[in-house]
Amino acid sequence: MKIIVLSSRFPYPIEKGDKLRLYHHLIGLSKSHEIVLVSLVDEIPAERHVEEIKKYVSKLYFLRMSHWSRFLTFVKGVFGSLPFQTLYFYQARLHRRFIEIVENEKPNIFSVN
């Protein structure tokens, strides 16, 4: 089965609990499934960190978040009803790119971390 895993952080290096959980999630899923990892990032991770994760995924996509866009979305959201955590990670440009990835990869299922 082909699974797209969307993560709000790149899972390596392991320095926080959410990264630890995702790292072991990828290891477990990769034993019997094809994994495509899509990670939201501020900066592209170091190559040695990318290589560690490539052991468990067939493809890896980085969606680079814009600090300026994040700020504007957050300010607009102060007057809306969405939770701040949602506003912090949502950017329309990244949403469109994620849809393109899904259309190209044609996964059987999604996992959001």
E-strand ranges in the chain read 2-7, 34-41, 59-64, 109-112
Structure confidence at residue 106 (pLDDT): 98
Average of pLDDT values for 80-107? 89
33-88: pLDDT as tens digits: 999 999 999 999 999 999 999 999 999 999 999 878 777 777 777 777 878 777 77
Cis, bond preceding 11 (omega within 30 deg of 0): no
Which residues make beta-bridge pairs with 2?
34
Structure confidence at residue 103 (pLDDT): 98
Structure confidence at residue 76 (pLDDT): 73
Q: At residue 45, what are phi and psi to the nearest 5 degrees?
A: -65, 160
Structure confidence at residue 75 (pLDDT): 76
Query: pLDDT confidence of 95, banded at 50, 70, 90?
Result: very high
For each of the domains in the chain, give its residue range(s) and CATH number, in order of start: 2-112 (3.40.50.80)
18-27: pLDDT as tens digits: 999 999 999 9
